[in-house]
Amino acid sequence: MPCITFILPIYNMERLLPRALRSLRAQTLTDFEAILINDGSKDGSAALCAQAAAEDARFRFIDQPNGGVAAARNAGLDAARGEYIFFLDPDDWVEPDAAELLYSAARDADADCVEFGLYLDSYDEKDQLLHTQTSGCALSGVYRGEPFKEHFDEMASSYLIINKLFRRAFLEQHHLRFPCHQLGEDGLFFVAFYRRDPGCLVVLEKPLYHYTIARRGSLSNSYHPERLEDNFYLSDAVWDTVAAWGLQNSPMHRAKANYCTVRDLMMGVKNLGCSPLSLAEQTAWLRSTLQKPRVHTAVRNIPLHVMQSRNDRVKLLLLKLRLCRAVLLLSGANQRKHP
């Protein structure tokens, strides 16, 4: 059994995939497998995957019709044989000692999950690095018992999966797979994971993963019309977890779930800014959404200072004042400035 299985969902990544593959070949821990799932790419990605598998037995190639990132990752999970799972996106890459440090930490603590820091890398249109900064974790150390219940305020909205190592046996025990959402499927997977009460969490401060900040045209910067009808599926999953734990009356758990609701609302506002809808139509959606009891309560109760950016604090203040058009105009201006 390999120590770690790297799962890479690949769609039209011919230009950037070689960098990710080089970072895997450079790993100081050599006992790993990398499953490369070509998700119906129209460029030369499949050929690169086939070549990697032909040259190195640790690389395995799965070629399937385009079904989206969730279906690709699920295919990787179905084929995985490693003790731990590492999800790597093909436009990102990992430090040479990432696998060794993470596996050592996981085995030493018998961990179900290891979280670690990130490098946030910005590139120009020619893929030249412009800027990098580190992003740490809210916690540090080894946490046992019910770590996700006890540290819900720090961990509940840590939706990324690419900065976490998962014990494969735990995923299989609870039949955990990715739901087929275009956006937020990683967050839904992570919420489903911690809802099952993993017994040991390890958090490392060291950044080990180079995350490429979203480019123009990425899914997070695109219009998703389905969100007009179902915008709160991620925060709903958080609320359902709190209810499943019987902690609806816990102030800390309610406050964090309210924050997740506001975070979803901000995503809905961003989605409107990418849409072809008129300002009047956008305003009507936002006003209607603010009347929903859970959304109304979350906007009213969340203090401004908990929002991560000054821009979000301003938008939350405008939402508290029900200045819907102002929120939308500000959001649209920000998106035009930072597409």
Q: Note the CATH number of domain 4-212.
A: 3.90.550.10
Q: How confident is the model at residue 241 (pLDDT cuts 50, 70, 90)?
A: very high
Beta-carbon contacts of residue 149 (< 8 Å; ≥ 6 apart): 197, 245, 247
CA distances from 248 to 233, 240, 251, 257, 326 (A): 18, 9, 8, 10, 33
Q: Rounded CA gap, 242 and 13, in Å?
A: 38
Whether residue 332 is predicted with pLDDT greater than 90 in this model: the reply is no
- Per DSSP, the three-state class of 94 is strand
The residue among 180, 186, 159 whose CA lies nearest residue 7 is: 186
Q: Where are the beta strands (DSSP E) in the chain?
A: 4-10, 32-39, 59-64, 84-87, 93-94, 113-123, 129-135, 141-144, 164-167, 200-212
Distance, CA of 302 to CA of 285 (rounded, Å):
21
SS3 of residue 144 by DSSP? strand
Dump pLDDT digits (tens) for 247-299. Answer: 999 999 999 999 999 999 999 999 998 899 999 999 999 999 999 999 999 99
Contact 327, 286 (CB under 8 A): yes
pTM of the prediction? 0.94
Domain boundaries, the chain: 4-212, 223-337
